[in-house]
A and B are shown apart, each in its own frame.
Chain A
Amino acid sequence: MRNLEDFSVPNDGEITLCEINGRMQCMNYEYANVSSFTTSVDKHPKIHVTRDLVHHTALGDEIKALFLPTDVPFLKQLTQVYSEQGIQEVLRTASFHHHFVISHSALLVLKVLKYVRKVQLLLNPSLEYNGPELIDELCQTRNWANNLVRCIAWHHHTSRLAVATNDDSVRIYCSDTNFVSLLRCKQQKNVVCLAWRPMSLTEIAVGHENGIIIWNVDFNSLVARPSVSNTVMLHRVEHQLLMSLVWSPNGSILVSAAGRDSNILVWDVELNKTSILKGSRESGNILLKWSPAKDKLLSVSSGIVFKIWDCQHWESDRWTVLSGRVQSACWSSCGTHLLFATNTESIIYGLTIKSDQIFTSNSDTSIDHAVPLFDLTKLDLEGIAVGGTVQSMETDPKGTHLAVFFKETNCVAIFNVVTSPLLQLIASSLIVGLAAEVPTAITFQQNFKPGACLTIAWSSGRIQHFPIIYTDLANDFNVNHSVRSINNSR
């Protein structure tokens, strides 16, 4: 099995900017400029999400500290507490009341509620964590709770990038204008995932804690903040903590997985109706990936099980990992291979999926276990720590590159994926950010002609476009040959 020693590391003080014809290009970070190598990402939106760009909704305690406490009648106080903090806090306030009957009855109700909660926990252990904690643990984004950028997603057909930030808003950056649309509404809290609708230019699904909001953004209008009337809101009571969303390739149905619901829901978005894909009772679902061959869907549960659904009849193949759960997974381009990593081992596994329906009964013709492909054990390469357990992985639309970043170390590793004759991963380049920058989320651009373009959101709020260029594909985007030759001679 190959390991991380295959990677070459950029020189000290340099950051990785792009990869041209399989060769990693680095520059000193002080005058780093990707356009000196290639012009292909010149038109891409330049994004830097800063702390002051993010408007936090007022945090209760800080606001409270600004005001002096006053004496208000008890009933008024209760109504105030109720409107701000809900019924439980009302009971707690009431329990401090000097009147014996009121305080005791409030305490009694609180006690009953406590026991109800205990029973609930017994039935569904995932309720133990509150929403954000559970998301933070299960989600593909590193340090989801505290990072500025929570999720990024490229449009399928145009160069539009949606960025979800931790103030519960989604910003859409376009390549052709500097105009940024801001999607935000009261219901949209704790955004975990974004999914642009295929076969449409304007629709994007935002998965938040309690449901899905589908925004229809009119990019021709100059309204910076589309109103709620442009949305379709979808939610089901038992479908809490949306973790992953995926559209069918023709954009007609949306599939959603939720951290607290064992069932996966298939939505007809416009008619607001669902079909249920039944899951095992005890675990939620954390990840969905549609195969590029359009006929399979991967769903990963928060337990040891992951399933591969056949999208025609919606029957599933059930797979299990030995320990932990699948942390991240992605498909190869033809949809016959699946790459995944668990949250306990630092190994990328490969799995060959039987795609030939006629011969499914032939048990001896298919390998029914995953093959370890790449050892990601933590290493120290010339002073840079690399490897460890995987946080998230993505393949580009052509299926030739795999980008991986880790839970503990600060690099993004790019592999070449070879599918024939045998599934193999070959170390390609290592992306290192500025000092103290940690990758938060990654995604590949969907319509990048000259090769592949990886977009990385760093913890500093900087969003980097990392083009992987093949000059024979990139006729229009002339690679700067002079720089390359200088680099080579050096």
Chain B
Amino acid sequence: MEVIIPSFINAHLFWIIEKGDILLRSAMHRTMSTRHCKIVKDPSELYENQMVAVHIDDVWIRALVEDVVTTQTDRKFLCWLPDYGVMRSVCSVFQIPEALKECPPLAKQASLINVVNLATDLLLGDNGYELKLKKTVADIEGVRQVALDYIGGAEKILFDVQSEDRFNLYGDIICVYPENCKKSLTEALKDDKLLAEDEKMFETIDAQRRQLKDIYFQHSPNWQQSLGTVEKKKLAKIIFNQNKTTAMLIMQQPPTNPNLFTPQTFSYKDILVRKLVRAVACSVFSQIAILLIYVLVANVNFLHPLEWLTSILNTFTYVSTWLFVIIFSFIIFAQCLICAKDYVFMTSYSSTRFQQLLHIFSLHNFILLCLHVIIGGAFTWQILVVIDSSSKSLTVKCKIDKSCLVEDTFFLIVGSFWTGLYFFLKVYISTKQLVFPVVQQRKFLRVRSNVSGLFTESMVMSAWPTLYFAMFYYIWGQSMENYFMVVFNLDRAPHENSILAYVYLWWFSTLYFFSMNLMRFFFSMFLTEAIQFPIVKDNINTLTLQEALVMNNLPIVQNLACLDLYLLSQWSLMRRQLFFTLSQPGGHPHNWNTLIESVVKLFTEYTDVLRKSVETTLPSDKIKKQPETITPFSPITLQSPLAQNIKYRNLRNMSAYNDYLDVVNVSHEGSISAVETMKKNLDNTINKLVSFMKIFFGINFLFGELPQANIQKCLGNGQLIVWASQGISELTVASLSEDKYGIVQKDMPIIITSLVQLKQHLDKLNKVPALSRKVAGLQDFNYKMKNAVTAAVKHSLFNICLNFGQYFNDLPLSKDVVQYLYVNVMLKNSS
């Protein structure tokens, strides 16, 4: 390939840039110059090797910050320019567009292959001294100078890659001189007695190859290099070949920052706090916005726009308006904070009716109930006050020293208290679960496409409480009103009850429902927004994807992790690569191992809970005794079942035969005396009596375990399995083309087996009466979730089978698993 060599340090360390990549480089310049790059003010935001943008010689360039030197007067950033292969120090660095971070460095570190330097050594012998050439790996300035001469004179430089590893290319530089005269740099330097061939010695450098760059630039003071030839040519059109960019992305093995994006600390607290703060802020602001829009619309006066404007301005100049807005915002804020807990923490499934009751009548719920009711009332009152403070107030002065009650207003306010109560009981209590959207849209688009739907929904929903209240008021309204008047010593205002009051009530309830729904929507939108977890654990504070996957106590984090796994398996080649790389040093696939451990743990735990709950729910005669446990490996491989020692599954199990060494317990049954028989009978009778009493007094009803509770809990977490299974199967399938080291292959049996086991237990759910189609309605969440989980697991298995079809017989799978797959997944595929 034709290259340019921006920096030549010595034979073991230089950088090359492919000529073809220069187009890419200039395209990057332009991308950066068209986007607005923010300046990085605080150097503490930077971490080592962060990708930033710098502005040198009127060009925007990507840079990696190596060091920050702060003096009294100014601050300098030492930057490595990965697209130029040179080191520069600059005064300011800028944020780089996210997309450019992922592009691999264009300048690649390279080395001449299998050569070492020759140093002249003076040997003192018996006959005086003699000069000898000694092989060394140490840096020799002469080599650099001569080589630079060769390179400098060349018309064209070719680099012949003979081998490459993760961050270095090995090969030979071929200089092409005028009249097509070619010369290999290695040969030339060898002829000059500057280099010698020595493969073994050359290999000794390998260990420190990664640090070569740092070593050199630390010790040499004159690293302030020029950019070399910046191509001034204006390129009219650059056509990028998609395949080539992909190829480049794959080629780059160790990304500059192993996690590609994240700041230094990344814990679940950070995630949640960030999400909740935004949700709360949006909720509060949306309330104010609704009020604002309402004022705009309510005062509408197209014929006199000026009057319209002044009336709006007037409204907002009242102190009372602001007082209400502030108080109201506070209440909303408080409510948000309390609700937040509901969304974030685990929804506990109560296994007995008693627990359910306790849950319903908790202090937490009581506070929320009060808040809902207060907000209901305050909302209407606020609107009444804001629109028009005189005619809609609760009382008017009708006599000199006595106020009178306006019935319409009274009706509206009591009605809106009721609306708050209704909303809490009907909507809030029953639907606490966060619903993840089907596709991850941008937030703005989600708001735009959902708001109108929410409004119409609120309109329909609020019709019912209005109707109930109208009926209630028709019957008991009079007495309520009287009571109120007596307590506050009021008179009745001249009667002007109109039908419009009902419409108003409906309208206010609609607004209330809308604002509450909007709040819930904001919560679910921010909390369900996908985030990218780091994959490599840099420090203790980092919560990696693998850890988050098994975070049972915070379902929201667990859900997000599963979602992230699913998304990365589909969309992010770079992040997938992180799983398919080996650790440095050591060469272990740590990332993948921890991932697969977490995922399998997730699956097996789920399977266990499923098994238990199905067993308790189904009458015992319905469970057929069939071979349930399936070992992941065929017997030949002599690996023990996975559940017992998942930790050491990569080690050979030396004691695999211990299955055959079961100790048989032999017990003797002696003769049973008559006394004991009687005792047994008595025990039985007492037991029966106790159980009868339990049923009779309703103890069983209250404290007995509910049959469906476990299954409900299981299915409540179904979304996790949906994402995890699809994600892991996509990753497995991707490994077919992306996994160079065959990391995934060794775990394929485990993945397939745990998925098959899961599927088998899911199939058993069909026998649970409450989940069969006849009983469950179409709208039943459990029924739908059961189908979703089953379908996802089935599709994941199918995906693996389809893509690994021809290699399937090579996998060490146990007979049962293969049998199951053939019957349930692949057999139908035979055509």
Contact = CB atoms under 8 A, between A and B. Distances in A.
Contact of B438 (A263, A273, A361): A273
Contact of A358 (B100, B450, B571): B100
A67 B326 CA distance: 74
B61 to A, nearest CB: 15
Given A361-B34, A365-B237, A158 B829 contact: yes
State the main secondary structure of chain B at its contact with A.
Answer: helix
A270 interface: yes
Given A268-B438, A356-B242, A362 B799 contact: no
Nearest to B99: A358
Contact of A199 (B31, B437, B453, B798): B798
A336 B246 CA distance: 14
A274 B439 CA distance: 9
Interface string A233-269: 1000000000000000011110000000001001111
Interface in B512-542: none
A201 interface: yes
Interface in A255-299: 263, 266-278, 295
Contact of A174 (B100, B450, B798, B831): B831
Nearest to B792: A252
A364 B802 contact: no
B445 A270 contact: no
A199 B237 contact: no
Interface stretch (A102-110, A130-138, A308-316): A308-316
A38 to B, nearest CB: 19
B128 to A, nearest CB: 67
B497 interface: no
B726 interface: yes
A315 B444 CA distance: 11
Given A362-B31, A365-B239, A278 B829 contact: no
A358 B31 contact: yes
Given A250-B570, A250-B726, A315 B445 contact: yes
B635 to A, nearest CB: 31
B831 A268 contact: no
Interface in A351-380: 355-359, 361-362, 364-365
Contacts of A200: 791, 794-795, 798
B648 interface: no
Interface stretch (B106-114, B553-561, B740-748, B781-789): B781-789
Given A270-B791, A314-B445, A219 B236 contact: no
Interface string A364-400: 1100000000000000000000000000000000000
B531 to A, nearest CB: 14
Contacts of B99: 357-358
A157 interface: yes
Nearest to B437: A275
Interface in B740-799: 773, 778-779, 784-785, 787-788, 791-792, 794-795, 798-799
B787 A176 contact: no
B441 A275 contact: yes
A314 B787 contact: no
A146 interface: no
B784 A220 contact: no
B828 interface: yes
Nearest to B726: A252
Nearest to B245: A356
B439 A273 contact: no
A311 to B, nearest CB: 8
A488 interface: no
B718 to A, nearest CB: 9
Contacts of A219: 828
Residue in A174, A232, A269, A275 whose Cβ sees the most chain B Cβ within 10 Å = A275
B449 interface: yes
Contact of B442 (A199, A269, A313, A357): A313
B653 interface: no
A334 interface: yes
Nearest to A197: B795
A163 B449 CA distance: 35
B35 interface: yes
A295 B246 CA distance: 14
A273 B778 CA distance: 12
B129 interface: no
Interface in B629-654: none
A314 B437 CA distance: 12
Contacts of B408: none
Interface in A149-202: 157-159, 174-176, 199-202
A219 B831 CA distance: 12
B365 to A, nearest CB: 27
A266 B448 CA distance: 16
Contacts of B313: none
Interface string B214-246: 000000000000000000000011111010010
B442 A356 contact: no
Contacts of B35: 361
A229 B773 CA distance: 8
B438 A278 contact: no
A275 B178 CA distance: 64
Given A174-B831, A275-B441, A358-B103, A199 B802 contact: yes
Contact of B448 (A159, A278, A295): A278
Contacts of A364: 236-237
Given A276-B449, A356-B245, A357-B99, A175 B438 contact: no
A361 B33 CA distance: 10
Contacts of B28: 358
B784 A361 contact: no
A207 B376 CA distance: 43
Given A199-B798, A200-B795, A334-B242, A270 B787 contact: yes
B440 interface: yes
Contact of A267 (B239, B438, B453): B438
Contacts of B831: 158-159, 174-176
Contacts of A263: 449
B788 A271 contact: yes
A315 B237 CA distance: 26
Contacts of A175: 831
Contact of A266 (B438, B450, B773, B799): B438
A273 B792 CA distance: 16
Interface in B20-45: 27-28, 30-31, 34-35
Contacts of A157: 802, 829
B407 interface: no
B435 interface: yes
Given A268-B438, A277-B449, A357-B99, A251 B31 contact: no
B449 A278 contact: yes
B31 A201 contact: no
Nearest to A295: B571
B828 A201 contact: yes
Nearest to B823: A220
A357 to B, nearest CB: 6
B548 to A, nearest CB: 21
Interface string A212-233: 0000000110000000010011
Contacts of B799: 199, 250
Nearest to B781: A271
Contacts of A158: 828-829, 831
A-B residue pairs, 9 tightest by C-beta: A270-B788, A276-B449, A275-B438, A199-B795, A278-B449, A270-B787, A201-B828, A314-B441, A268-B438
22 contacts: A157-B829, A158-B828, A159-B831, A200-B795, A232-B787, A250-B570, A250-B730, A251-B795, A252-B726, A268-B788, A272-B784, A273-B435, A275-B437, A276-B453, A314-B441, A315-B442, A315-B445, A358-B102, A358-B103, A359-B240, A365-B27, A365-B240
Interface of B: 27-28, 30-31, 34-35, 99-100, 102-103, 236-240, 242, 245, 435, 437-442, 445-446, 448-450, 453, 567, 570-571, 726, 730, 773, 778-779, 784-785, 787-788, 791-792, 794-795, 798-799, 802, 828-831
Given A252-B795, A355-B242, 9 more contacts: A175-B831, A250-B570, A250-B795, A251-B795, A268-B788, A273-B435, A274-B438, A278-B449, A313-B441
